[in-house]
Amino acid sequence: MAFPILSLRARVFVRATEDEERVREALSLILPPESERRNMKLEIRREVAKGVLGNPIVIIEAVARRKSDARKWWKHILSLLRPEDIDYILRHPDDFLDEYGTVHLRFDKQQAYLGRPVLTEGGGVIKVLAQLEAYPAKPEEFRRAFVRLFKPDGV
């Protein structure tokens, strides 16, 4: 069964005190391997914004708009999660799924730079947003799709 996902994006902020290249390295842990990316249409954008105090903040965002690319990327995201992470997510769906059918995962940016995919609730994150595919687009259908996203084999 294919993952019930329409699109996928990952977003990370580079604060003025951070090294942009290191943040990009952290993001690369979350992105599909380079060998897979060559066959995908994955858009990576860089934007500069101003913080509250006027300091520059770089926003790096990777987006897969095609379902096939989002599903391939999701398979990689799923491979980063430990069984206990998936169990926690499935026991606390309201912490990860919004009313619009978007799944929100937050990976610790520092840990990702060190090669460790660690989910967190704190700041300094790489945010992954997965838009679910559910018909009709109603909360109960999003919940079913959410479970299938993390347990594609129904295990």
- Bridge partners of 62, per DSSP, are 10, 44
* DSSP secondary structure letter of residue 2: -
Q: Which CA distances in Å does 21 have to 12, 18, 65, 113?
A: 12, 9, 25, 10
CATH code at 5-150? 3.30.1440.10
Q: pTM of the full predicted structure?
A: 0.92
Q: In the chain, where are the structural domains located?
A: 5-150
C-alpha distance from residue 12 to each of 17, 22, 86, 94 (Å): 14, 12, 22, 23
Q: What pLDDT, on a 0 to 100 scale, did the predictor assign at position 76? A: 96
Helix (H) or strand (E) holding 148: helix 139-150
pLDDT tens track for 120-130: 998 899 999 99
pLDDT in tens, 52-77: 888 899 999 999 999 999 999 999 99
* Those residues with Cβ within 8 angstroms of residue 48's Cβ, 6 or more apart along the chain or in another chain: 56, 57, 58, 59
**pLDDT range class, residue 142, cuts 50, 70, 90:** very high
